């Protein structure tokens, strides 16, 4: 009979310094400094969609109120005279519950909302159809599971379109970017100051003298600049970015930079505070309309870009993004209008000026519209809100997404701990071909894979890392 075990004459084990406590039998990875650590992380998880509006919801824009730890979804209730409406959501695990909706105006279009963390207020920007489509803003205050609003204020005495907004935390100002239809559809921005339940504005400033569509705005807190992206109608509708500097109640701009030399219908603009980069997600019409992302670095009043990378390989449409600070990843909500026709979530990681994405998760099978992603830093989850015409019935929905994270890569798994070790102490590690005798509950002859949280499972995780094959309930031949 052949005895399965470790041959002492074969170098199938090594003594390596532990970084952190190392329990025996635990799969381990090699760190950049040559130490070994346990594998830690969490699996990707997606909760069920929950109705936030029992009607057609358009122009959805969601924000996280860090004062009340609530998600606020602002939208147009198309079945209620197209009224501007807001509702407060509370995340628990991978579920979300909502209070009652609150109407803030009779007919609102092109809605964009942002959260002012200085005044702890939600600010909604919109075109007021009951007032000739004038650009209008209103301040909301969250209390419990409800929201109340102050008096609406006009910031542009003319019809607006394609609105986006962000909060400049260095100057404690809100900034709105929009297409000014009253001035040849030019790209325009305005700075607002919240005081109590009201808001006041400085003079509007043009950042593009040609027709401007699909604006998106974000604040780069590393350099204290506002970044705006848009489709430049004066330059073949190329995807374009420009950097703005707020001073007092005004904003000035540097020179615009093209990030996609092709027709670009919108960009999901996100700031990654982990690496201090701006990232744009957009449908790339030059490449089968695949969902694509590109990393931008702001320097002074300009921005430069790395190379674009596909994050979802199918025809895509509207996109939205949020930065998950707990995992250091960007979460994109994408309408896949290709072969599957569904709403998907793609998780992307920035490295230098490059970006790569993991396998996407589907949050809805069918056509989705106006996806809006926001990160709840209290629950450490991303909430994706959307409207679907394929629903039963066609309502506004929200789903809670937990991004997966792990220190495991496709290359750094080395084996299992043959003996426990304290931090900075030498640990004996089972390498390739060794038999780990510290396992339990295995099935002989079964292949096992390392999971994101360091456990062993019979199905591959993301990344897919083969741990080894069980030869007994307590023994695993290490792949390494």
2: CB partners within 8 A, 6+ apart: none
Task: Give the integer Cα–Cα distance in Å for 405 and 403.
Answer: 6
> Which three-class secondary structure state does DSSP give residue 423?
coil
Model confidence at 456: pLDDT above 50? yes
Helix extents (H) in 191-272 = none
Confidence of residue 10 (pLDDT cuts 50, 70, 90): low
pLDDT tens digits, 36-61: 999 998 889 999 999 999 999 999 99
State pLDDT tens for residues 431-445.
Answer: 999 999 999 999 999
Q: Is residue 319 over pLDDT 70?
A: yes
What is residue 83's predicted lDDT score, i.e. its pLDDT? 98
Cβ proximity of 214 and 266 under 8 Å: yes
Please state, in angstroms and rounded to a whole number, the distance separating the CA atoms of residues 20 and 17.
Answer: 9
pLDDT of 358: 86
What mean pLDDT is predicted for residues 6-15? 68
Q: If you average pLDDT over residues 117-124, what whole number do you get?
A: 98
Spatial contact of 56 and 457, defined as CB atoms under 8 Å apart: no
Question: Residue 322: pLDDT above 90?
Answer: yes
Strands 83-92 and 102-105 turn out to be antiparallel
Residue 411 gets which letter from DSSP?
S
How would residue 288 be classed by pLDDT, with cut points 50, 70 and 90? Answer: very high
pLDDT at residue 2 greater than cutoff 60: no
pLDDT above 70 covers a percentage of the chain that reads 97
1 pLDDT tier (thresholds 50, 70, 90): very low
CA 330 to each of CA 181, 199, 453: distance values in angstroms, whole numbers, following the listed order: 33, 31, 20
How high is the mean pLDDT of the chain? 94
Q: Residue 391: pLDDT band by 50, 70, 90 thresholds?
A: low
**Cα atoms in the Cβ-side hemisphere of radius 13 Å centred on 281:** 33
Q: What pLDDT is stored for residue 3 in this prediction? A: 41
Which among 11-15, 311-315, 443-447, 461-465 has the top mean pLDDT?
A: 443-447
Q: Residue 334: how many CB atoms within 10 A of its CB?
A: 29
Higher-pLDDT residue of 230, 336: 230
pLDDT at 5 over 70: no
Question: Residue with structure tokens 């080894």?
Answer: 468
């Amino acid at each position: 009979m052949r005895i399965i075990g470790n041959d002492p004459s074969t170098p199938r084990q090594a003594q390596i310094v532990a970084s952190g406590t190392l329990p025996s039998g635990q799969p381990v990875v090699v760190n950049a400094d040559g130490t070994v650590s346990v594998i830690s992380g969490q699996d990707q998880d997606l909760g069920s969609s929950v109705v936030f509006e029992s009607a057609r919801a358009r122009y959805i824009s969601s924000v996280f109120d860090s004062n009340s730890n609530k998600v606020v979804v602002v939208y147009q209730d198309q079945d209620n005279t197209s009224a501007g409406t807001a509702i407060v959501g509370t995340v628990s695990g991978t579920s979300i519950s909502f209070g009652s909706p609150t109407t803030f105006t009779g007919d609102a279009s092109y809605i964009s909302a942002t959260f002012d963390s200085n005044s702890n207020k939600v600010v909604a920007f919109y075109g007021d159809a009951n007032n000739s489509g004038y650009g209008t803003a209103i301040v909301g205050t969250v209390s419990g599971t409800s929201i109340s609003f102050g008096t609406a204020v006009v910031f542009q005495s003319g019809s607006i379109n394609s609105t986006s907004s962000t909060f400049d935390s260095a100057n404690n100002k809100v900034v709105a970017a929009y297409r000014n239809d009253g001035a040849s559809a030019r790209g325009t921005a305005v700075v607002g100051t919240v005081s109590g339940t009201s808001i006041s504005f400085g003079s509007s400033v043009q950042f593009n003298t040609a027709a401007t569509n699909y604006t998106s705005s974000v604040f780069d807190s590393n350099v204290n600049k506002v970044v705006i992206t848009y489709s430049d109608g004066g330059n073949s509708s190329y995807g374009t970015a420009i950097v703005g500097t707020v001073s007092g109640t005004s904003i000035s701009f540097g020179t615009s930079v093209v990030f996609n030399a092709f027709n670009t219908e919108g960009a999901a603009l996100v700031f990654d505070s982990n690496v201090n980069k701006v990232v744009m997600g957009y449908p790339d019409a030059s490449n089968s309309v695949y969902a694509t992302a590109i990393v931008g670095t702001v320097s002074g009043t300009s921005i430069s870009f790395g190379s674009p990378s596909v994050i979802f390989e199918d025809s895509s449409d509207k996109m939205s993004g949020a930065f998950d600070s707990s995992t250091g990843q960007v979460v994109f909500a994408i309408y896949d209008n290709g072969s599957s026709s569904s709403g998907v979530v793609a998780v992307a990681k920035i490295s230098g000026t490059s970006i790569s994405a993991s396998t996407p998760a589907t949050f809805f099978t069918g056509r989705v519209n106006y996806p809006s992603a926001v990160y709840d830093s209290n629950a450490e989850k991303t909430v994706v809100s959307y409207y679907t015409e394929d629903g039963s019935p066609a309502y506004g929905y929200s789903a809670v997404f937990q991004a997966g994270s792990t220190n495991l890569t496709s290359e750094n798994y080395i084996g299992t701990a043959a003996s426990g070790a304290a931090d900075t102490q030498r640990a004996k590690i089972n390498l390739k071909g060794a038999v780990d005798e510290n396992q339990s509950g295995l099935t002989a002859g079964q292949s096992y894979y390392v999971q994101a949280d360091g456990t062993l499972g019979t199905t591959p995780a993301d990344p897919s890392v083969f741990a080894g094959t069980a030869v007994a309930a307590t023994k695993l031949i290490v792949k390494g």
